[in-house]
Amino acid sequence: MISQYEISLHPYQRGFHLITNEVLKHIEKLPHNGIIHVFIKHTSAGLTINENADPTVLEDFELYFNRIVEEDIPGLKHTMEGPDDMPAHIKASLIGHHVSVPIQDFQLALGQWQGIYLCEFRNRPRARFVLVSLMY
C-alpha cells in the first residue's frame, strides 16, 4: 500500500536545513514497518541525510559546496535568474532530489545522529514542495 502527501516547506535561507520534523508533522501516522520516500520537486534545491547534532557540519557543507561550485563562473549560459541559478542546479544534481528511510516500529529508522535536510542553493528564499510517499 502507498500513501502520498505533498508538503509545502516554508521559505528557507540558502544553506542546509533540518526538515525531519517538518515532514513528519504532515503525516497522519507512520506504519509499523515500511519505507518513507521524500522527493523534492525542484531543480535548484536538494535533499540529503546527514548529521543533526552539530550545526557546524551544516556550515562546513555550505563552505565546501560553494568552493566546488562557485557563482559567476565565466562561460555559464543559464544565468537569466541570476549568478546563483546554474550553480544551484549543479549543486542539486550533486546532492540529489530524494531520500528514502526505512520505517521500523512506527518510527523513522534513522541513526542516532541522522536527520533529513533540505539543501537550499538559491540566494533568495522560496517555498519548496516535497512529495512524501509511504510504502507499507
Domain holding 84, by residue range, is 2-135
Q: What is the pLDDT of residues 11-27, one digit of tens each?
A: 999 999 999 999 999 99
| H or E stretch at 89 | helix 85-95
CATH of the domain at 19: 2.60.120.460
Total domains, the chain: 1
Q: What is the pLDDT of residues 51-110, one digit of tens each?
A: 999 989 999 999 999 999 999 888 999 988 999 999 999 999 999 999 999 999 999 999
Q: Which residues of 10-19 are buried (b: 16+ CB within 10 A; e: fewer)?
A: eebebebbeb
